[in-house]
Amino acid sequence: MKLLIYSIPIFLVQLVVSNADVMNGTMKLMMVQAIWRHGDRTPTETYHNDQFTENYWMFGGGGWGQLTPIGMRQHMQLGQKLRARYVNGQPYKFLNTRYNQQEIFVRSTDKNRTLLSAFSNMVGMYGNTAQENASIAGVDYPDVVGWPVGFVPIPIHTIPDAEDHLLSVDNYCPLQDTIWNLAKTTDTVSNYFNSSAVTSLMGNLTNYCGEEINPDNLWILYNALKIEKQYYPAQFKQFTPWYTDSLFEQIDIVNSQVQDFQNGLGLEGKMVNGIDIGKILRKIRGGTLVNDIYNHMNRKTQCSSNNGKECTYTNRLKFFAYSAHDTTLYALFSLLGVAKLAVQPRGYPLYSACALFEQWQDVQTNQTYFKLIYHRHENDTLSNVITSGIPGCEGSGDYCPMAVLKNYSDVFKPEMEMNQWCDVNILKSTSTSSIFSSLLAFSIFYLFVSSK
């Protein structure tokens, strides 16, 4: 798998790292993992009759799906909040005051909007720390005319989008398409999609849009309308005379329900051809990410008492960030059972929404715990702890035993590496497995009878 790195080279020197542990009672902070949605963007695409063409969207370099200056500002401010919480002692002095490449790793999907969101976030965390006398000219950034004073560039890592099943949950995956098509044959999804309210809405929207609108592509219309109304309110009324707030609410309700189905919500225990539809959807969409998060924690725990060379990187790493999408966050929340708690009353995680997984260790018992914090939107704080909403974490307060996360990791771990699993014909595999099981059962029965 080819790794691409977007960065501007800087001269690195060894930084002085504090050995002081960050404590909360007997609990020691070990590592933080952040998963965020990109900031405000232009529409990714639109519908046939839309008069808002791509030429209207000149933000962030221009074109569909680009991060806007509002989105850049949202992530800069989120980065400032992260700096306050983990650098400046509000409440933890966990990370170095200057950027230390041994402490921080940032991974993004291969989309301009997520890459630029990550860059903008790092500007908030470390990109203009000259005001705090934290960054050093000639050491952390070039001391030359034309370079923004105090700006410290941070590397953002990514892989090609087609290979990214960790963070790009909607990229091409024939297995996911197969399971989703099976989901649509269940009574739960079929009855909803064929209800008079939904079919009537789809019919009206098809007439308005000049192309077929169905539950699978409804999200395109939802996003286009929401963003166009935000940026061009006067022209929006002129270009979209059929729009009403009531109609948009209907679109929102149906689109949110489709999103739930696609993430396995409401399909728990639904079996088709011997396949647990809800469980497999959650495995495909969120299983790889929850395993990655857990594996980072598990590795950190294992290395906490090992100073060997094989643990050097892990022991130094303190902050791992994923720059991704609303669908990434919602798939993770759906798998962990906190989707409705985190996203209310419905819909997608908002721009610059961020989930923080803090890993803590009780120094008296050596037991490891995690805390889940959710930053809902740009005006939110980093103080909303939702750990206790995770099934299995009830009654644990802010800290939940890492064994609970391990269980989710084990239960929803994909059957194989996703780039391989996506190409598996699960219907054929299921059929072959059923035939093999039947033959095996018959053989065992025959041998049992013959031995009598």
The tens digit of pLDDT for each residue in 277-335 reads 999 999 999 999 999 999 999 999 999 989 999 999 999 999 999 999 999 999 999 99
| 159, 39: one domain | yes
SS3 content of the chain, % helix, strand, coil (to 5): 45, 15, 40
pLDDT at residue 133, as a whole number: 67
The tens digit of pLDDT for each residue in 439-448 reads 344 344 334 3
Domain that holds residue 132: 4-167+278-410
Whether the per-residue pLDDT at 29 is higher than 60: the answer is yes
| 23, 150: one domain | yes
| 288, 144: one domain | yes
| 36, 132: one domain | yes
The tens digit of pLDDT for each residue in 86-127 reads 999 999 999 999 999 999 999 999 999 999 999 999 999 998
319 neighbors 31 (Cβ within 8 angstroms): yes
Query: Does 147 fall in a domain?
Result: yes
Whether the per-residue pLDDT at 70 is higher than 90: the answer is yes
pLDDT at residue 392, as a whole number: 97
pLDDT at residue 211, as a whole number: 98
Task: Determine how β-strand 354-362 pairs with β-strand 27-37.
Answer: antiparallel
| 143, 30: one domain | yes
| 259, 349: one domain | no
| 445, 351: one domain | no
Query: Does 416 fall in a domain?
Result: no
Query: Does 309 fall in a domain?
Result: yes
Domain harbouring 154, CATH code: 3.40.50.1240
| 56, 88: one domain | yes
Query: Does 284 fall in a domain?
Result: yes
| 380, 430: one domain | no
Q: How confident is the model at residue 42 (pLDDT cuts 50, 70, 90)?
A: very high
Query: Does 417 fall in a domain?
Result: no
Q: What percent of the chain has pLDDT over 70?
A: 89
Distance CA 322, CA 134 (A): 25
Query: Does 324 fall in a domain?
Result: yes
| Residues noted as catalytic | 38, 326
Which of 255, 277, 299 delimits the end of a domain? 277
SS3 283: helix
What is the residue type of 319? F
The tens digit of pLDDT for each residue in 146-205 reads 998 889 999 999 999 999 999 999 999 999 999 999 999 999 999 999 999 999 999 999
pLDDT at residue 345, as a whole number: 85
Query: Does 415 fall in a domain?
Result: no
Number of domains in the chain: 3
pLDDT at residue 139, as a whole number: 94
pLDDT at residue 132, as a whole number: 75
Distance CA 236, CA 43 (A): 14
pLDDT at residue 344, as a whole number: 83
| 283, 399: one domain | yes
The single-letter DSSP state of residue 153 is -
Could you give the angle at which helices 196-209 and 218-231 cross, rounded to 10 degrees?
A: 60
Query: Does 27 fall in a domain?
Result: yes
Q: How confident is the model at residue 15 (pLDDT cuts 50, 70, 90)?
A: very low
pLDDT at residue 439, as a whole number: 39
| 245, 343: one domain | no
40 neighbors 70 (Cβ within 8 angstroms): yes
| 154, 224: one domain | no
What token pair was written down for 331? 């798939």
pTM: 0.90
